[in-house]
Structure 1
């Protein structure tokens, strides 16, 4: 089975700031080696989970060390109350078809 690489970040943001936060969250250009990116938020719009898939850990690490990512994270910082992040490897789960 093919191995996948994802970077996940969970952030708690200040109430009422989702639209402003999400505008700053989007990178100015597509990062090299990024395959997909998704954002999910809680009903109260105060917790956001970002999930990005990458061709490799090295591609993700290169983006995270870039000046563009440093600047993006600094722009988001005034909205962030807490943050957890991590890099993961995994595989697609094959779910049986419905009868």
Structure 2
């Protein structure tokens, strides 16, 4: 199994704020060390989970402590009701053929 460094953040946002939140949420620059990023929305549009794959924990931490990330978080803050986040290591599971 290939090892991945993954940052996951789930945010519950104010009702009706999805469009404004999305504008604030997208980073203006691509963070160094980020390999890929995914976003998943609940059907009601009030919960968003972001999953990003990183070269290393250090690369992720460098982005999270950057001024650009601080500004992005400040722009999102008016729309966020609750936030959960964490760093994980793991990989893709093999799914058997059907």
1:77 aligns with 2:83: no
Deviation of residue 97 (structure 1)?
2.0
After superposition, the CA RMSD in angstroms is: 0.7
Following the alignment from structure 1 to structure 2, what is the Cα–Cα distance between the partners of residues 23 and 74? 12
| TM-score between both structures, scaled by the size of structure 1 | 0.95
- Cα distance in 2 between the residues matched to 1:90 and 1:76: 28
| SS state at 2:10 partner | strand
3-state SS of paired residue (1:62)? helix
CA deviation map 1:77-96 (0-9, x unaligned): 00000000000000211112
CA distance in 1, matches of 2:35, 2:64: 15
Distance 1:11 1:18 in 2: 11
Any residues of structure 2 matched to 1:57-96 within 5 Å, and which? 57-96=57-96
Secondary structure of 2:63 counterpart: helix
Moved over 2 A (4+): none
**Could you list the runs of 5+ residues in structure 2 that have no partner in the other structure?**
none
How many residue pairs were aligned? 98
Aligned partner of residue 24 in structure 1, secondary structure: helix
For structure 1, the 5+ residue unaligned runs are: none
Deviation of 1:23 (Å): 1.0
